[in-house]
A and B are shown apart, each in its own frame.
Chain A
Amino acid sequence: MQKEAMFRKHSPQDVPVQSRLNKERSAVLPYVLISPLILFIGALALYPTVRTFVESFFGVDPLNPQGFVGLQNYVSVFNNPAVIYSWVNTFLYMAFGTGLSTLVAVLVALGLRVNFRGRAVVLAILILPWALPAITEGIIWAWIYDPSFGVLNSILHSLHLISHYQLWISGNRILTVFLIELVQVWQMTPLSIILILAGLQSIPDELYEAARVDGAGLLRTTFTISLPLVRPSIAVAVVQSLVASLNVFDQVYVLNANATTGSSIMLQTYNITFQNLNFGEGYALSFIAVLITMAIALGLLKITYRRVEF
């Protein structure tokens, strides 16, 4: 009986059954492994997005409750000049932030790819701005930009680049947006540097050695090896900068309060939702922001991302 059982266990007819079972297991395993993530994203991102979309068609306002209002909330936000002004500012934040942050991150990451003494210390210092809360950074930079005794005025004045102290924030729209975004760039660039540096370090050294043997210089290897092969990492860095700059809030609030000059779309959403208690319009604006973020992110991914295999 025992022999029979043993024989059966190793029966050639049973091998396909075993392999089918293994195949089924290995087919299910990935889903099991990613299920916590799916649950997490579903609960914290998908469900709220769907709910926001549904609620955006209702007059959710504790001061003036209404039922289904169709597209009225969307019409209202598009007819609100303050919202339109904030959208333009937000696109400027995005353009400055994503462009500058990615450019600086690529340059610094290329520099850090090379091993040098004190590299670890430089990396640790670079991470600091990323670790600081945005409010703290806003306060630090408010002192830097201060028109009466700020460091920026002091430096420029001592270099004779300005004749008298300037008002940097609030006076001019473009300058205000650029300087506020500079604070965000200072905060989010370290993450982009780390992402791009990780990509650069995964490029095999043999490729660089081969290029060197062929007589390629630093510039040539950068443009023909480093940059093309690090594109997936750059794409991720671009998307994270894009999302951060489209959602800029803390820095605007600390440096420019509720003034229209630097107002961002997130600040408008906050005011409409939490100050005016008009949740319906707040939902509509949030949903539009989600759609625009996704559309731009997908567009940028299409431009920057390339599948790379070594």
Chain B
Amino acid sequence: MRKVKVVLALSLVSLSLTGCGSYVAAGKPNAADAAHRSAKPYAGQTITVLFPYNAPPRKLLAQFTAQTGIKVNWTVLGFAATWAKIVSASSANTYFADLTDVDWSRVGQYYRTKWFIPLNKYFNVKSLRSDVPQLNDFMVNGQLVGMPIDASLMLTTVNVKDFARAGITRLPTTIAQYTTDLRTLQRKGIHAHPLGISFAAQEGLSTYWYEVTGAFGGSIFGPGYKPLFTSPSSAGYRAMQWMVNAYKSGLVPTSDINMVDYQVQQSQMALHRISSVMSDYSGNVGTLYNVPSQSKVVGQIKYIPTPGIKGIGPNLGNPDGMGIPVTAKHPGAAAVFLKWFTSPQMQADFSGLHGPADEILNFPLPMRLSSMNMLQKANKVTQVNEMIMLFRQHSRPVFPNGGPPPWYPQFSNAVYTNIHSAALGQESVAQAIQAISNTVNQLNH
């Protein structure tokens, strides 16, 4: 009986303790709950990511939500539409997304307009510098306007099978040799027009010119955005002359005059209508040319060092970035997502470290050197070693003397419309150069 009483008393004590426990949980947070909340301070928030490129695989997004309690609504919108959305919503001071595209070419504009929250308070810029070589492209006066999310760069691609069929045993390392090889491909009947250049009056034509200018051993601007392309002996002038001659002499298909960059890659290079693209995008070999459903040249395309005027030329950076608009509803949660997205492990995963299931379609290259090391060790991604070698040894920003100017879109517009007209013979290269130079001088004042 006594035993029974003791059991009953213990049960009552335990019941009352349980009751107390429930009371504490409902009223005041205990230590475990506080820790849980501080680990997930933004749990329950849903962020909208508006971006022109593909989302990470659902599985990985679900893992992020499980880790942080933050839901991600990723909306894909075309580049021009995203830009229009950023401009219209930001100028009207209204919410449109918590995280969106910050292209390297817009960094100067965004710095001036103050449409994005400086990311310095979320990221330690000093410690990132050594691991993220393209970080400077997103910084103006010490302010991190956006965070690079990949390490896209312009690379030369060649169809090695075509080159071999034409009897070319050594791949070109200089622009002169490259031009001769293209003529050989043409002469031997491999392709009537072996070179792809996007001549449509769009951004892709401007970036192609920057890359060829680099190959000719120069830059577009000097300090203070002084044009360096006006003299006929300058790299920029010669680069434009080379591109226009390539079109007029038939090295480039006639249809390229109205084709944007991705059309040249998808409908010409991948469908075996040409043999080389001098300014191709990093990642295209693995995500386009070697994909049997999209390509007729599987296993035939190779990245080569950019043929330069005296040996290997540079590979100019073309990185994509993300930023948090000042009108974001959940900037804290957006920063948590951006940290996750740009973490070394995720960057390697998005590039295919653990196979295609974790890959982001058309993801070029991770923005961190540490992620590149992981990929090199695993050696699972197509030609990753070649890409990383080119990135480490030859990568260079488009505007090494400071980021893109705030008037970059107007400058680029002058570049692509005039090169397009010069290729059609509507104006000479000298006139095109003069028109671009006049635009720079006007904008610089």
> Which residues in A have some Cβ–Cβ distance to B below 8 Å?
62-63, 142, 146-150, 165, 167, 169-171, 255-261, 270-271, 273-277, 279
In the assembled complex, B421 has its CB within 8 A of some CB on chain A: yes
A260 CB contacts on chain B under 8 angstroms: 201, 417, 421
| B contact residues, total (Cβ < 8 Å) | 32
A257 CB contacts on chain B under 8 angstroms: 200-202, 258, 260, 416, 420
Known: A62-B113, A257-B260, A277-B87. A147 touches B255 (CB 8 A): yes
In the assembled complex, B84 has its CB within 8 A of some CB on chain A: yes
A271 CB contacts on chain B under 8 angstroms: 413
B293 CB contacts on chain A under 8 angstroms: none
In the assembled complex, B38 has its CB within 8 A of some CB on chain A: no
- A146 near B255: Cβ-Cβ < 8 Å: yes
Quote the shortest CB–CB distance from A246 to chain B (angstroms).
20
Known: A257-B202, A258-B202, A260-B421. A275 touches B255 (CB 8 A): no
A171 CB contacts on chain B under 8 angstroms: 424
Quote the shortest CB–CB distance from B133 to chain A (angstroms).
29
A-B pairs with beta carbons under 8 Å apart, 29 shown: A62-B90, A62-B115, A63-B406, A142-B258, A148-B253, A148-B254, A165-B254, A167-B254, A167-B257, A170-B258, A170-B420, A171-B424, A256-B201, A257-B200, A257-B202, A257-B258, A258-B201, A258-B416, A259-B200, A259-B417, A260-B201, A260-B421, A261-B426, A271-B413, A274-B83, A274-B84, A274-B88, A277-B87, A277-B109
In the assembled complex, B91 has its CB within 8 A of some CB on chain A: yes
User: Chain B: which residue is nearest A142 at the CB level?
Assistant: B258
Known: A62-B112, A63-B112. A258 touches B258 (CB 8 A): no
Quote the shortest CB–CB distance from B246 to chain A (angstroms).
16
- B87 near A274: Cβ-Cβ < 8 Å: yes
In the assembled complex, B292 has its CB within 8 A of some CB on chain A: no
User: Chain A: which residue is nearest B410 at the CB level?
Assistant: A276
A150 to B115, CA, bound (A): 44
- A279 near B416: Cβ-Cβ < 8 Å: no
A256 to B200, CA, bound (A): 7
- Indicate with 1 or 0, residue by residue over B99-118, a CB within 8 angstroms of chain A CB atoms: 00000000001001101000
In the assembled complex, B355 has its CB within 8 A of some CB on chain A: no
Apart from A260-B417, A274-B83, what are 4 other A-B pairs with CB-CB below 8 Å? A148-B255, A169-B258, A257-B420, A258-B201
B416 CB contacts on chain A under 8 angstroms: 257-258
A270 to B409, CA, bound (A): 12
Quote the shortest CB–CB distance from A108 to chain B (angstroms).
30
A169 CB contacts on chain B under 8 angstroms: 258
- B201 near A62: Cβ-Cβ < 8 Å: no
User: Chain A: which residue is nearest B253 at the CB level?
Assistant: A148
- A279 near B406: Cβ-Cβ < 8 Å: no
B257 CB contacts on chain A under 8 angstroms: 147, 167, 170
- Indicate with 1 or 0, residue by residue over B269-293, a CB within 8 angstroms of chain A CB atoms: 0000100000000000000000000
A256 CB contacts on chain B under 8 angstroms: 201, 258
A170 CB contacts on chain B under 8 angstroms: 257-258, 420, 424
Q: Which of B90, B109, B413 contacts A63 (CB 8 A)?
A: B109
- Indicate with 1 or 0, residue by residue over B414-435, a CB within 8 angstroms of chain A CB atoms: 0011001100101000000000
B202 CB contacts on chain A under 8 angstroms: 257-258
**A142, A147, A148, A257 — which one has the most chain B CB atoms within 10 A of its CB?**
A257
A63 to B409, CA, bound (A): 12
Quote the shortest CB–CB distance from B293 to chain A (angstroms).
19
Quote the shortest CB–CB distance from B68 to chain A (angstroms).
33
**A165, A169, A261 — which one has the most chain B CB atoms within 10 A of its CB?**
A261
B90 CB contacts on chain A under 8 angstroms: 62
Task: Give the 6 A-B CB pairs with smallest separation, nearest first.
Answer: A259-B201, A148-B255, A258-B201, A275-B409, A257-B200, A147-B254
B200 CB contacts on chain A under 8 angstroms: 257, 259
A288 to B54, CA, bound (A): 39
Quote the shortest CB–CB distance from B107 to chain A (angstroms).
13
Quote the shortest CB–CB distance from A93 to chain B (angstroms).
18
